[in-house]
Structure 1
Amino acid sequence: MSFPNKRTSIFKSPLARRLTIQIILVSTAITLFLTVAQLYWMYQSELTGVETELRQVKQVHTNAISQSLWATNHKEVTLQLEGITQIPNIIYAAVHEGKRLWAEAGRENAHNTIKRQYPLIKQHRGVAQRIGTLTVVASKDKIQDYVITQAIIILASNAFKTFLVAGFMLFFFHNHINRYLSRITDHMHQLDIQTITKPLSLKRIDTHQPDEFDTLVDAVNKMHYKTNKAHTDLTDSKDQFHAIADYTIDWESWVSPDGQLIWVNPSVTRMTGYTPDECYEMSDYPLSILSDMEHQKYLRLELSGATRGSTVENIEVQLQHKDGRKIWAAMSWQPIYDSENQFRGYRSSVRDISYLKEIEENLNKQVQLLEHAEHTQKDLLQITRQEKARLTSLLSAMKLGILFEDVENRVMYTNPAFRRIWLIPDTIDLGNRKTIDVLEFSGNVLARPDHFSRHILQIIGTHETSETFELSMADGRVVTQLSYPVNDQDGRYIGRLWVYEDITRERQTAEQLIYLAERDSLTGLYNRHRFQEEMMRILVEVDRNDAHGALLFFDLDEFKYINDTYGHRAGDTVLIRIAGEVSSLIRRNEIFSR
């Protein structure tokens, strides 16, 4: 067998080449496995997202589409279907009434799709009726394209990393291993057991950390000085064992085949509070440290198998600390065999998992909180729907006309009283129309449309409450108009509320009361109260303008004779006739009263 000398090239070393090839092969296998797992997870995650979107469509849109389909509102159904197709990955949505396609949106043009059909149910007079079917189609093409793109990126980046690591390892092997192996080989060829040669030295930097080469150099030198170095080698080996075993984080122990503790490391004190000496004195180690009797029975059964050479990993048990605390731990053990394959007992390792149990408990609490929040959200949604139904009923029963518009001055809602006041047929859909265009569908005409238009234009675009404005209709009705800005809970402007009230009857009643308060009930002339008010007004005006005025007072002679001879009804007729004749002679700036 030939040995490479110290001048061996980095690319000609058989060991370096084999190491590099093995690194590349192992790294490639691991990379491919992890990449496939990652891509599968990504693909499943994307599919889960699509399924979530489909469930949201079922939860959010089926009730609304059922309402619109029941109302045979084709336009509203189409708008709702177009809204569904705006959801990512959803390419087609359709509503069928039996076998007839009632409305659809989008195109079913993907190669790989997920198709779901949801029944459209309408509660009518307490009976659930199926009035149609909602069909939703989601595409998986984008998901597959995304996964393929990610696969190329991951494989390319990992391939670059693999070759980079292989090159580094090749350089590292040559610089830190191959050249030292060549020196050691040359030294071994020059050794003579009959002579004392200079001890082997690799001439390394004094500040370097001890490694395997130092151990190998020591071994070569100890072989040369085997008579006095054998004991030293054995002592060093024992010290190294304790340095590793005594200072591990886990609680390690060695138990003989008959169940007696042979060795335990100091970590037992940190985990249980018991010292190694106390553990040696225990007759039932380690069962006596367990806090639960069921755990002791179970572990006793498992340990009986360990004495026969079985292997167990991560059995969760609860330990009783010396101070009374309880600690969760994971226990594992495996058999120990000597060089002659004789069973020498088992080695147990105990790891503290209390923090993992705390995390698990916290996760369970969070899950419970999330479930509670979900139930609360469903309850609030149900309450919101009930409140919406009550509010709709209340608005429908009101005599006030209500119109709500959004920030773009488009109609969002009108109640039946609004249509009655403006004589708008129920067959006309006012939704999403400009507020200023709604009156085009009114069956009535404004007495002064130009005055009303100027008032509307002054209000639209402002976020303030308008003053009460009276509208005179061509049919004699009088309607008041009032509007309020509507803000959400954060103070953002979301629309305007218009309120209309028909006050024709109230206005007629008021005018009649004014007439009765100022007029004589028989002749219709101004009475004494109105005469006094007009008299004071004229006197003030005459005094201000330094003008003249006149008061003419007259009485009817022999009027009592008419009442006594022909009766009071004839007298009333005479008074009415005289009042009419004289009133025809009165000018606009004059008054006539009784």
Structure 2
Amino acid sequence: MAENIDFQEIVDHLEYGVVTLDENLRVLYFNRWMYKVSGKQSDEVINVPLDKIFPQVSDSRFIDACRDAIELKLPTRLSNSFNPSPLPLYQAQEIGDELYRLQQATVIKPGVGVDGTTVCEIYIQDVTPMVSKESLLKHMALDHEKLAKRHEDERDHLSRIINNTADAIITFERGSNIQMCNQTGMQLFGYSQEELSQLNFENLLQSPKNVSPLHTEKLKSLLDNAIGNAVTSRHSIATYAYKKDGAELPIQIRFSKTSMGDQILIVAIVRDISEQTGRDKILKESEARFRNLAKIAPVGIFQTDELGVLLYTNQTWNIITGQPRNVINETPWFQHISDENRNEIEEKWQIESANNEQFVVEYSFDNNASLKWVLCQLMEELDEYGKVLGYVGSITDITDQRKTREKIEHLAFYDPLTSLANRRLFKDRLSRSISALKRGNKRMALLNLDLDEFKRVNDSLGHDAGDQLLTVIAERLTNSVRENDTVARLGGDEFSIILNDIESSSDAGIVAKKIIDAVIQPIVLGQQSVTMTVSIGITIAPNDGCEPEKLVKNADIAMYSVKEMNKNSFNFFNTSMNKKTMDRLSLENDIRCAVENKEFHVVFQPQLDIDSGKIIGAEALARWDHKQRGVVSPCEFIPVAESSNLILPLGELMLFDACKEAGRLIKQLGNPEGFTLAVNLSTKQLMDHKLVATIKKAIEVSGIKASQLELEITESALMQNIGEAVKILNCLKGFGVKIAIDDFGTGYSSLSYLKTLPVDRLKIDQSFIFDLMNNQRDKDLVTAIVVMAHSLKMKVVAEGIETYEQWQFLKTLHCDIGQGYYISRPTDIDEIVKSCDGQFWNSAVKDHPKRNSRLKQVKS
């Protein structure tokens, strides 16, 4: 029966290209599929060279492969995924008339013509679905190669073609056994031709149990259509078949019919889709994975078409934007953006996407009356030809981050307590105001303000009350000026105000008076009502200069002049202003530079055991030799350093130097037992939160023991905040540092604090020692202090001893330690070592005439 099969008809119904070339590469045969997809007629191809039909192939690998098939009998397989075929083969899409180029897999192999000559057989398969499963089906296309068949015995030749096709070709009569199966089909199912002739085609397609009856019914319907239709059916079905060994085989079948005489045959073209099914499964799993990830993603994910219209949004996107699900296929992705931002962002997106750039932008919008900020990232989706299919993007809710960023930016330029401009912003505003003066004829005023007695309120009522007071003052200052003026808090209770565009200095005076009246109004802090006053210094630009630093200095000078008079007032800067104020500012500036340049140095005044004359300590004292001022007295620079907060860096510098030098002195004296270095602490140092850490570090760096350091604190410093002082001193005492009360008897002299403070020594003020031998009251007071201290297990230090008689009297009182010019002036450690006989001071302490003579030399 196979002998009578019309192979020409079978091959013409194949959905593959079949072409035969002679040894000169002229077309012998085109099957029907080739005519269809190439758009050629028979007279345009038969006996015509292939490169004349398709000029694109003249210099391509395609022609070389055809020559190899004829001359070398070498087969070649080409795929335009990797080896692009130049044949321009096209096929119309089912919907519409647009033509799409086919992706081709081409087999070129040698064959034998009817006359025994070598021919070139070419098989072209449309592999568009396999090359780009993810592309839209409407972009499928078929690339055409030309073939021709030149021999008269088409039956044998077409048989070879059928047997070499990539798909199985099976013919049968409905209800009867299989009549013919090509070689591919026998290899696919594992049966021989004889075995297949004993089988019914429907028996080959026994569906697995998991295939539904509807699927089986569709297969039956396709068979019926194939018999009833006069043309090849366009419908196909993917199903399963069983191989001879029982293995399940996924296949795709397309049916057509042909006739041989009165007999109607069904032609089944069966394709093994195992690989494609695997790819489809991977693709579906990937898509499912993406969908699941998109569902739980913490960011909003969306997809649009090429115009930006939404195609997909995940739930997070809808939650962030507040948009309903039904916006898909209706609105562009940027529709939810606030009106004032939408046009700008849309325009920016279109420009950047046109330049193939990834689009990243931050924008805001209203979601249920709540302002939200998001970070949006958008990028193109392209097909294999680079055409834009659409866009995929994400949005991240950065509202909280934005608020944090704005808060950080606010902290960079504004005072966190009062929300006034800080020093950094003040400097910028001042520079801008000065620059504006140069462009017009206006004036500006700078007001520097300092609250009078703020420290008293802060120390007595606590820091919380102090902060509350500053907040109220800041509000009153803001209400006293215009919106275009600047109120700044520079630190503590220091404020500055920039008044822009004033007509005359009197305008600044009016504002200053308004501020004084506002500040003096009572302020309720908890259960207390306080009244504050303010000192204001005013400078006018450009009258007083146009340099920011100079204007600030001028305003400070004017303010200090107010403080030195009656406070609660204001004053304008003028060049003839109180020289004392200007000198003080100059001294303050010199102190600041001296600290930075380490111009200060430390000297020591020895402390002796009065009974034995043994050196048991030294007091460290700061000294300053200025290049222009010469030797500056501590009585001159210490108060200024105290009032300007420069005492903190100065005190730290002296502490480290004193500990370092004391370590060297102790070593040179042979490590005397009980040796103590006395260092003075100011009020501000005592309240400094870094004090404990600074002292620990100084001890560690110098190598002295904690027990060898004694901190001297005045009664007045202690009473500023006795509760906090007790905590700090107990902490210092805890790791071994000694505590002494300096200038005892000149401050509060309240005995109640002595029982709460961890005091080791009382230091009698030198005012009681100076006239000790001539004033009985001084003798009585010194005697009482010594007796009281000893009863409290404290040692007593007498400072300011200048005579032998004073020394001997204190010795009779059993005063423990002596210090003063009678022993030595403050000096360096080398001089102290020279004056010692071992660990004892020289005999002059016991030699009355010689010592008094030396004392006169020292004082002179």
TM-score, normalization by structure 2: 0.26
Which structure dedicates a bigger proportion of its chain to strand?
A: 2
Which structure dedicates a bigger proportion of its chain to helix?
A: 1
> RCO (CA 8 Å, sep 6+): is it higher in 1 or 2?
1
TM-score, normalization by structure 1: 0.36
